[in-house]
Amino acid sequence: MPPVKPMLAKSVAKIPPGMHYEAKWDGFRAIVFRDGDEVELGSRTGKTLTRYFPELVAALKERIPQRCVLDGEIVIAREGRLDFDALTERIHPAESRVRTLAERTPASFVAFDLLALDDHALLDVPLSDRRALLDRALDGVTPPVHLAPATTDIEVAREWFERYEGAGLDGIVAKPLALPYLPDERAMFKIKHERTADVVVAGYRLHKSGPVVGSLLLGLYDDHGVLQHVGVAAAFTMKRRAELIEELAPLRMTDVSGHPWARWAEESAHEEARLPGAPSRWSGKKDLSWVPLRPERVAEVAYDHMENGARFRHTARFRRWRPDRTPESCTYAQLEEPVRYDLTEILGSTG
């Protein structure tokens, strides 16, 4: 019975040998509970996603066993590529908006594990046996429900790692074949794509614990010479957070008026450029204020991939300062784009 928290993965640098391999999907992790006409979509945190995806509820009733619990990912694909932005738009408080988006950008569910079937709980069953049961349970399943492709061949996994990024996938997940299902434990392994970029550090937010740096605000110049906010770098030790306050003190601006993001507090300004502090339903009442810096320092950061080619999909990871680079040289042109790959070729074999 819900809620059940999904089993998680820890990051490793290389694909480990001798395991079960799947693509890493860039969507909303979801545990699907079905008991006859009842269908519940549980999120990674245990909260329900059911009301946001009515089209999936209907599809699951038609396509999965009468009584089962599935682990998988809710995704939206457009033009042969995963679209995470379209997925986040589905989390909307207005039911009328949810219904409209369900028709305009329908979601799919990619199943990759089976936690229960009929009267049998499968949490203690080895992964290899759970996967065999899942293959039989979803044999011949049709879209928008899919069975995630899987392999035990590490060479195939390496090929997927290189090819599938162009369809918007995150990397590869590796699972030990004898692994039981361990809710909320990092018992699997994830191998993600990582690239580096040189970015302008144009501000910072304070940490919730006190007067130390919480996150650095990062920018890139577009083709028109406008500094666009592309994300943040935030993973620092407390000692490093305090050091950054001192390092960045000479760049601190007492008057934001001369800063490229000076209009960040004006809602209309966010329609003209990418600025920090954009209001959204995700931020709620969170303090979005920040400390402006003269945009003169360049840092090298690591990132996995871009969202809509405009910003870092996840929090970037600070690597080092780049005193040899000028801020004006930090443009979008340096970003590497993966070769496009049609998502239907990945899921085609699953119906």
Q: How far is CA 263 from CA 203, 224, 248, 316, in A?
A: 14, 18, 22, 24
The active-site residue out of 24, 208, 285, 286 is 24
Average pLDDT over the chain, rounded to whole?
90
Note the pLDDT tens digit of each residue in 239-285. 999 999 999 999 999 888 889 998 887 777 677 777 887 554 444 45
Instruction: Summarize the confidence of residues 33-53 as an average pLDDT.
Output: 94
Q: What is the reported pLDDT for 132?
A: 98
Tokens of 161: 């790692």
| Three-class secondary structure of residue 204 per DSSP | strand
The C-alpha atoms of residue 327 and residue 226 are separated, in whole angstroms, by 12
Using N-to-C axis directions, what is the helix angle for 95-104 and 54-63, rounded to 10°? Answer: 60
Q: What is the reported pLDDT for 193?
A: 78
Note the pLDDT tens digit of each residue in 287-319. 568 999 999 999 999 988 787 778 888 899 999
Q: What is the reported pLDDT for 90?
A: 92
Which contacts (CB < 8 Å, 24+ apart) does range 253-262 have?
A: 253/292, 253/293, 253/294, 256/292, 259/202, 259/203, 259/292, 259/294, 259/295, 260/202, 260/219, 260/226, 260/227, 260/295, 261/202, 261/203, 261/219, 261/227, 261/229, 261/292, 262/292
How much is the pTM? 0.71
Ranked by mean pLDDT, which of 10-14, 84-88, 100-104, 334-338 comes out on top? 100-104
The C-alpha atoms of residue 56 and residue 142 are separated, in whole angstroms, by 12
Note the pLDDT tens digit of each residue in 203-247. 999 998 889 999 999 999 999 999 999 999 998 999 999 999 999
Note the pLDDT tens digit of each residue in 155-184. 999 999 988 887 878 899 999 999 999 999
Instruction: Summarize the confidence of residues 317-326 as an average pLDDT.
Output: 89
Note if 24 is an active site residue: yes
Ramachandran category for residue 156: left, alpha or beta (phi over 0 → left; psi -120 to 50 → alpha): alpha
The C-alpha atoms of residue 314 and residue 346 are separated, in whole angstroms, by 24
Q: How far is CA 321 from the centre of its chain?
A: 26
